Amino acid sequence: MSIFVDENTKVIYQGLTGSQGRYYGLLNQEYGTKVVAGTNPKKAGTDVEGIPIYATVAEAMEATGATASCIFIPAPGVKGAVLEAAEAGIEFIVAITEGVPAHDEAYFYNKLKADHPNTQLLGPNCPGIISPGKANIGITAGHIAKAGGPVGIVSRSGTLTYQALYELKQKDIGVTTCVGIGGDPVPGTSFIDCLAAFEADPDTKAVMMIGEIGGSAEEEAAEFIKANMTKPVSSYIAGVTAPPGKKMGHAGAIVSGGKGTAKAKMEALTDAGVKVGDNPTEAGELMAEIVAAL
């Protein structure tokens, strides 16, 4: 199995008529993802290489039966796009866009929790989600992912998401689902959301978790792993050499007051029984050891 999406998931691309939306929408379709519609109120009634364009998400859902959407809208429009999808009844929203204002993120995060609890948001500022061999929603290169399980991956870092996939593929280890949750301060999907889903998935036998400096998400994940996870976990935390008090990479990677350091996160995860590598390759090697022992 996979978590959140699979080969039957029908996806609407909000922004399919834009250059990036078109490029990745068609690439995802070529991978095997069921890209059934796009939206653009100014281009309703047209199509993108046979994919129909509708004025609204609600109209696209009614016509296609889609349950997921992928947002390739410029940052100022993401708030409206997320709320439109949620209000239409979309169950899973993937927001790829970076640079979304933090107050917009906080607003639609809380709006979804309060008014649309059945809608799961992934992102913003994330690479998306891939269930190898089944569906790829976002910007992850499909050829670096090996299908067939038994490992689930969750990562805050986009580029390290790709490296984790490739490290495992080089070791001939398949992946059930890889989720890039993004590194913004208010992510729609957390480490814990993914860990809980992987724990419940019978085909996922182990989990690889990629974190980074800033915030407390990794420490919270460590507490969850210690209390709830029966499946083995390997991890890597980026930012060991990062100076405190500096913004590193993006908005979520801020260390202050001795909190959010790589060292603190690594210690918390180790205490929870996680095998922590000093670099991404070592984390992959630790996962290979875990898989060999399954």
Instruction: Please give the structure tokens belonging to residue 45.
Output: 């009634």
Distance from C-alpha of 150 to C-alpha of 82, rounded to nearest angstrom: 32
pLDDT at 73: 96
Q: Would the pTM count as exceeding 0.85?
A: yes
Q: Which CATH number fits domain 10-122: 1.10.10.10, 3.40.50.2020, 3.40.50.720, 3.40.50.2300?
A: 3.40.50.720
pLDDT at 157: 87
Pairing label, strands 174-180, 128-131: antiparallel
Q: Which helix (H) or strand (E) holds 79?
A: helix 75-88
pLDDT at 260: 75
Distance from C-alpha of 129 to C-alpha of 138, rounded to nearest angstrom: 6
CATH number of 141-293: 3.40.50.261
Starting at the edge strand found earlier in the chain, the sheet holding 206-212 runs 135-138, 128-131, 174-180, 150-155, 206-212, 233-238, 275-277
pLDDT by residue (tens digit) across 110-166? 999 999 999 999 999 999 999 999 999 999 999 999 999 899 999 998 889 999 999
Distance from C-alpha of 5 to C-alpha of 111, rounded to nearest angstrom: 23
Which of 267, 242, 268 is closest to 255 using CA atoms? 242
Q: What is the mean pLDDT of each run of 10 residues along the chain (294 residues)?
A: 94 97 98 98 97 98 98 97 98 97 96 97 97 98 95 93 95 98 93 98 98 90 98 92 59 54 92 96 96 96
Question: Under DSSP, is residue 160 helix (H, G, I), strand (E, B) or coil?
Answer: helix
Q: Where are the domains of the chain?
A: 10-122, 141-293
Residue 260 DSSP label: S
Pairing label, strands 206-212, 174-180: unpaired
Q: Which residues are catalytic?
A: 250
pLDDT at 214: 82
pLDDT at 207: 98
pLDDT at 215: 84
- Same CATH topology for 10-122 and 141-293: the answer is yes
